[in-house]
Amino acid sequence: MKLNTIIWKELFLRKSQLVSALLAVTLGIAVIVGIQTVAAVSEKAVKIKMENLGANILVLPQSASVDDYYAADIDAPTFPEAYVERILNSALSGVDNLSPKLTRRIDTGSTNVVLTGILPSGELAAKPYWTISGLSGEDTGHIHKGSSGKYADPRLQRTAIETLNRNDVLVGKVVAERLNLTEGGTITLRNHVFTVAGILPETGTVDDNRVFAHLHTVQGILGIGSQISCIEIMGCCSAISDGLLGNLRNILPDTRITTIGQIVSTQIETNSLMEKISLIFLVIILIVGAISIGNFMWANVEERKREIGTMIAIGATRGIIYRLFMTKALVLGAAGGFFGYIIGSAGAMILGPRLAGLAVAPMAVYLLYAVLMAVLISLTGSFIPTFRASRLDPSLIMQEV
């Protein structure tokens, strides 16, 4: 026999008290795990949606407005392309993607088009929904596709665009219809002949009315050197709320930095609301859980006064009394954390799709957090009753005193 035998046998002696104490910790942890699991999945889902929406921060010249960004006037202000390098070299966290752009409305002879110079690496990464038809899988030689398989159904040939050659253009759906352009055809802009590498799918944005070419080619044909009209940035929303905008303003003091407010603020609000709710629940559960365990332990010490007194009389040191009660608290906490994780994860998996419209999978790392938190609650709640037990008067074991 060891001390653990005493702890284990006593633990199951008062089963109803054990169950109620365990239930308080288990349910508390279950609520936290459930909320955190749904919140984490929700955050991930919003992030994916954000990526699909594209950039959420705009860097414009100081004198430009957001309207200039959309109007693309011929004399709209610009700033040096070197600013992109400045951001990249600053090692700012939370910048997921940069897309420098030079946009100008130009005359094709018969009509006006908005020509936008892009750097394929940044722009195409920011817009994974930009796809083109692979023309029954035939390689045009202009575009590198994300996949190279051939399918009977041409719709399955749609692949994400990965690169854009210097003399190629991607054409928005509306402008392609207006100018009667097709993939593989050509378009002449400012005496420069471009091959239409792809017709972009309709997005319902300004992109539908634009012709996209390589930034450096556009700079060349417009004759405005290494200048750009804006940098679109895909910033991580938590980084935006943590001061990414301020840091960008410090790096680029002579620019106007603005967010695509509604998108960003919605996500920040959603995330911060979930965080606040989680925090409130966490605090309440910590307090309620600790009180519940403390109450159980206090009652346990009261009921076992005579037994503890006997143990002290026959030689239990304070260390042994602490081990007896704190090990019990540890077991209760670990069990509460484990069962809380199971119930919380199951609850999130069942309720997540119904309440948040999200498919929720349990997060293994929360098992560790749940057990650690429950053990902390249990040990904290048990400390005062254990302290009291260790200082019980052993002469209580006698009848007459």
Partner 1 sequence: MIQITDVTKIYNGPRGQVTGLDRISISITKGSFVTVTGSSGSGKTTLLVTLGGLLRPTTGSVEVDGQHIYSLKKNQLSRYRNRKIGFILQTFNLIPYLNALENVMIPMIFASENKNGGCHPRAESLLERMGLRERSLHLPRELSIGQQQRVAIARALANDPDLILADEPTGNLDPAMAMEILEILRKLNEDEDKTIIMVTHSPMAAAFGTHRLDLRNGRLI
Task: Pick the closer one to partner 1 by CB: 87 or 312.
Answer: 312
Interacting residue with partner 1 among 40, 179, 236, 320 (CB under 8 A):
320
317 near partner 1, rule: CB under 8 A: yes
Interacting residue with partner 1 among 91, 193, 314, 365 (CB under 8 A):
314
316 near partner 1, rule: CB under 8 A: yes
Task: Pick the closer one to partner 1 by CB: 4 or 188.
Answer: 4
16 near partner 1, rule: CB under 8 A: no
**Cα pseudo-dihedral 217, 52, 201, 106, rounded to 10:** -30
Task: Pick the closer one to partner 1 by CB: 176 or 312.
Answer: 312
Interacting residue with partner 1 among 67, 315, 354, 357 (CB under 8 A):
315
Interacting residue with partner 1 among 266, 318, 350, 353 (CB under 8 A):
318
303 near partner 1, rule: CB under 8 A: no
CA distance 251 to 245: 10
CA distance 332 to 338: 10
Helix (H, G, I), strand (E, B) or coil at 300: helix
Site for partner 1 in 221-250 (CB under 8 A): none
Interacting residue with partner 1 among 1, 152, 193, 365 (CB under 8 A):
1
C-alpha closest to that of 141 among 117, 167, 122, 177: 167
Helix (H, G, I), strand (E, B) or coil at 148: coil
Minimum CB separation of residue 383 from partner 1 in Å reads 19
Q: Are the C-beta atoms of residues 332 and 293 closer than 8 Å to each other?
A: yes
Q: Are the C-beta atoms of residues 272 and 279 closer than 8 Å to each other?
A: no
Burial of 314 (0-12, 13-18, 19+ CB in 10 A): exposed
Helices (H), 241-364: 245-251, 261-303, 305-313, 318-351
Instruction: Tell me which DSSP letter residue 253 carries.
Output: T
Single-letter amino acid, residue 95: V
HSE-up of residue 211 (Cα within 13 Å, Cβ side): 31
Site string for partner 1, 184-203 (x = CB under 8 A): --------------------
Give the Cβ contact number of residue 121 at 10 Å.
Answer: 14
306 near partner 1, rule: CB under 8 A: yes
User: How many residues interact with partner 1 (rule CB under 8 A)?
Assistant: 29
Interacting residue with partner 1 among 30, 329, 379, 397 (CB under 8 A):
397
Interacting residue with partner 1 among 19, 88, 313, 355 (CB under 8 A):
313
CA distance 154 to 177: 20
**Binding segment toward partner 1, per CB under 8 A, in 26-34, 221-229, 372-380, 391-399:** 391-399
Minimum CB separation of residue 378 from partner 1 in Å reads 21
Helix (H, G, I), strand (E, B) or coil at 100: strand
**Binding segment toward partner 1, per CB under 8 A, in 7-15, 26-34, 149-157, 288-296:** 7-15
Minimum CB separation of residue 316 from partner 1 in Å reads 5
Minimum CB separation of residue 397 from partner 1 in Å reads 6
302 near partner 1, rule: CB under 8 A: no
Tokens for 9, please give them: 């046998």
C-alpha closest to that of 228 among 98, 333, 388, 368: 98
- Judging by DSSP bridges, how do beta strands 192-199 and 168-171 pair with one another? parallel
Interacting residue with partner 1 among 125, 277, 319, 349 (CB under 8 A):
319
Task: Pick the closer one to partner 1 by CB: 291 or 326.
Answer: 326
Minimum CB separation of residue 386 from partner 1 in Å reads 15
Sign of CA dihedral 40, 41, 46, 50: positive
389 near partner 1, rule: CB under 8 A: no
Task: Return the exposure string of 134-143: e unless at least 16 CB atoms fall within 10 Å of the residue's CB, then b.
Answer: beebeebebb
Residues in touch with partner 1 (CB under 8 A): 1-3, 5-6, 9-10, 13, 306-307, 310-320, 393-395, 397-401
